[in-house]
Structures are given as structure tokens and as C-alpha cells.
Amino acid sequence: MSRITDLDIDSIKDSDLLKGFDYNNYDEGDRERWKTLLDGVMQAQDGVSCKSYTKGMASLGENFSDIPNLEELNHKLERQTGWKVMAVNGILPCEDFYKLLSRKIFPSATFVRDWHSQAFTGYPDLFHDVVGHLPLFFDKDFSHFVSNSSDIIYQILKQTPNGTAEKEQLIQNFSRYGWFTWEAGLLIENGEAKAYGGAILSSSGETENLKSRGYDKFDLQEVFNQSYTDKEFSCRYFAIDSYDDLFASLDTIKTQYNL
Ligand SMILES: [Fe+2]
């Protein structure tokens, strides 16, 4: 997958957001894979997804019965929480990724994964990005956490010189923080752990993996010390009691890194 190195985030206009997305480019094969994926995760999500995801999914269900038109999705999303999707075909540099999110722009891939990657994909595709993540961006608290945390992380990274061991350590810590929260995070609801992480909610395989493992209470320092790879199902899961725990972790991060 190519790296995007020339994105000028400060000058992005609304009309630029979906330049990389052409609804007419998808063929029958893409649509068939999309529907098979959706059937698989809808079954897998039953009893697993958290309330805010289920609520977002209820309002998006009809958009997802086929490959979604991102333009329509953007109108809905912006009305609800002010977020917008940007079609991004490649990997963004770390700082650009957080800066984009801090401006309430969610970068989404546009390709639909192939048949070999139905249960798992190492690279996020359109299905992972929009089915796994977007329903939660209709929740005001969660979407605020993503923009707020991204702004804080972006500022911490920006004030740290490139090429230093300190910067590498920060990038590692914040990758783990992202993985164990909005990719593989769990939320306790009525005494049961439910998923708010998009890697779980967009993958029937990850959901099965979750069912076969236990989980630990979310602890920021433990998350910073826990390695992971996005090439396999998650080795661990961490559960929060409410989104307030995530906001509390941001206060700890600001103190820890003198922001
Ligand atoms: Fe993701």
C-alpha cells in the first residue's frame, strides 16, 4: 500500500474529501464480497456490540446493505456530529493521521477486501473503516473522544523532534493506545463486556477470537506496555466502564507528556 506524503491538511476543502471515491468504480464482485462480509459481521456482532454502536448501526443499516455512497453518508454524519469521511487511498504519516482526526475528518480506504481476507484483513479496507468505525462516530461522546485524543496526540508528537528515540517511543505508545481502545476496545454494559472497537466490529474472525479470550480492566500504562500486531487477531482486550475512562486517560496523557 502506498504512503501519502503530500497531504496539506490545513487547505482541505469539503469538495476535496471524496475526490478519491468513485461509486461507479465498484463492480459486481465488490458488491458480492461486501454483502457476504456484512452478513458475516451482522451475525457475529449480535450480543457483542455496545449500545452506542448498535444505535449508530440502526440508523446506517440501509446505507450498508450495498457498498455505501460516501457522499450520502457524509451528509448524515455531518448533521449528527460534525464529522466527515475523506477517501484516502494509502497510508498517512502518523502526525497527519492524528491531525486529520483532530479536525473531525475520518480517513477511509475505498477498496473492498478480497475473498481470502473475509475474516481478517491486515490493511483496513472500506468495510473495516465504515462498518467497523463509522456507526460510533454518530455518538457525540465517542466521536468527541476521537477528535480530542487525536488533537492531544498530534500536539505531543509535533513538539517532539523527529528521528529521536523519544519520538519512536511516543509513536509506539499511541499506536498501542489506539489499538486497545478504538480498534479492540471493550465497554462494560450491565456487567458484560461489549465491543466498541472497530477491528472487532468489522471482523467475524476477531469477534470469535474475543469470545475465546478474557479481558482486563483498561489501564493506560499497561496498554502502553502491551505490544500488538495488526497482522493477527488481538492478543488481549481491555475494558472500560464508560467513555469517561477514556477522557480520564487523556488527562493522564497530558500530565505525563507536559501538555
Ligand atoms: Fe480501524
Q: Is 147 a residue whose pLDDT tops 90? A: yes
- 125 within some domain: yes
Amino acid 6: pLDDT:
86
Q: What is the DSSP string of 52-95?
A: HHHHHHHHHHHHHSSS--HHHHHHHHHHHHS-EEEE--SBPPHH
Q: CA 209, CA 233: separation in Å to the nearest integer?
A: 7
Q: Taking 70 as the threshold, does the pLDDT of residue 188 lie above it?
A: yes
Instruction: Judge whether 39 lies within some domain.
Output: yes
How many domains is the chain partitioned into structurally?
A: 1
Residue 218: give its domain's CATH number: 1.10.800.10
DSSP state of 195: E
pTM of the predicted model over 0.75:
yes
Ligand 1 center from residue 128 Cα (angstroms): 6
Residue 139: inside a domain: yes
37 belongs to a structural domain: yes
Residue pLDDT, tens place only, 75-132: 999 999 999 999 998 899 999 999 999 999 999 999 999 887 776 676 789 999 999 9
Residue 182 alpha carbon to ligand 1 centre in Å:
7
Q: Partners of 86 in the beta sheet?
A: 107
Query: Domain for residue 247, yes or no?
Result: yes
Residues 99 and 154 sit within 8 Å (Cβ to Cβ): yes
Report residue 1's pLDDT band, with 50, 70 and 90 as the boundaries.
confident
Q: Does 230 score more than 90 pLDDT?
A: no
Residue 188 belongs to a domain: yes
Gap from CA of 6 to ligand 1 centroid (Å): 22
Would residue 1 count as lying in a domain?
no
Spacing, Cα 251 to ligand 1 middle (Å): 23
State in Å: Cα 217 to ligand 1 middle.
21
Q: What distance in angstroms lies between residue 30's CA and the mean position of ligand 1's atoms? A: 20
CA of 133 to the centre of ligand 1 (A): 7
Domain of residue 205 covers: 13-256
Q: Is residue 3 part of a domain?
A: no
